[in-house]
Amino acid sequence: MSSYAIERLSADHDRAAFTSGLDSVDRYLRETARGHSEKGVSITRVLVGIDAAPPKPILGFFTLSPILIEAKPWPKAPKGLPNQPVPAILLGRLAVAATHQGKGLGAMLVATACQIATETITLAGGIGLVVDAAHPQAASFYASFGFKAVSPGGLRMFLPAKSLKTGVEIRRE
Ligand SMILES: CC(C)(COP(=O)(O)OP(=O)(O)OC[C@H]1O[C@@H](n2cnc3c(N)ncnc32)[C@H](O)[C@@H]1OP(=O)(O)O)[C@@H](O)C(=O)NCCC(=O)NCCS
């Protein structure tokens, strides 16, 4: 079985070669993700082979950031939320390299994002993990992990903090 590591995106990673098949996320990784990480806008983590040497091929990635949301009417939101935006974690982007899709790596990235969101929420608060699915098929992918649609088009989805614990442990920074 292959072994993987999750690392914070850095100059060691080969961003230029990453292709998931969804141009908007590929461009985000190539052009924006490092700048956003350096400025504190969001943090991107990449999945690499455990023995990879720089420039390390990126097998997948995801991006997390804090978000304020009006979640009171959402299904699965905690009861009795205040009438104002409340904090949550946003899973802004997630993708797996086209050559590695269908092998469980997307599920591994979602599990790791849930694990990091749980730690962040435990330390600083937050009602759960929000995701903006890029298209209806991506929404089906997130639904398979328990995310529920909370927007009219069904692309904004939510997993409450109490459902985030997946028990999956993988090595990361
Ligand atoms: C969507 C994506 C991340 C899935 O990654 P993956 O590594 O191929 O998925 P996995 O192999 O981990 O599959 C995990 C589960 O999700 C299901 N799944 C995978 N892709 C799916 C899809 N498009 N629709 C519905 N379910 C899907 C799998 O069947 C699997 O379920 P199972 O465990 O019951 O068999 C990947 O296809 C991708 O990067 N696509 C292009 C970028 C993209 O669309 N990203 C979403 C942006 S929000």
For residue 120, what is the enclosing H or E element?
helix 105-124
Question: Per residue in 51-102, pLDDT tens?
Answer: 999 999 999 999 999 999 999 999 889 999 999 999 999 999 999 999 999 9
* pLDDT at res. 168: 44
The residue whose CA is least distant from atom 20 of ligand 1 is: 141
Which pLDDT does position 33 carry in this prediction?
98
Distance from residue 82's CA to the centre of ligand 1 (Å):
35
| Fold topology of 4-163 | Aminopeptidase (3.40.630)
- The residue ranges of every structural domain in the chain are 4-163
Q: 86-96 and 60-69 as β-strands: parallel, antiparallel, unpaired?
A: antiparallel
ω into 55 cis (within 30 of 0):
yes
Angle at 32 between CA 22 and CA 161, to 5 degrees: 75
pLDDT at 76: 85
State residue 65 phi and psi, 5-degree precision.
-155, 160
The two structure tokens encoding residue 59: 């097998």
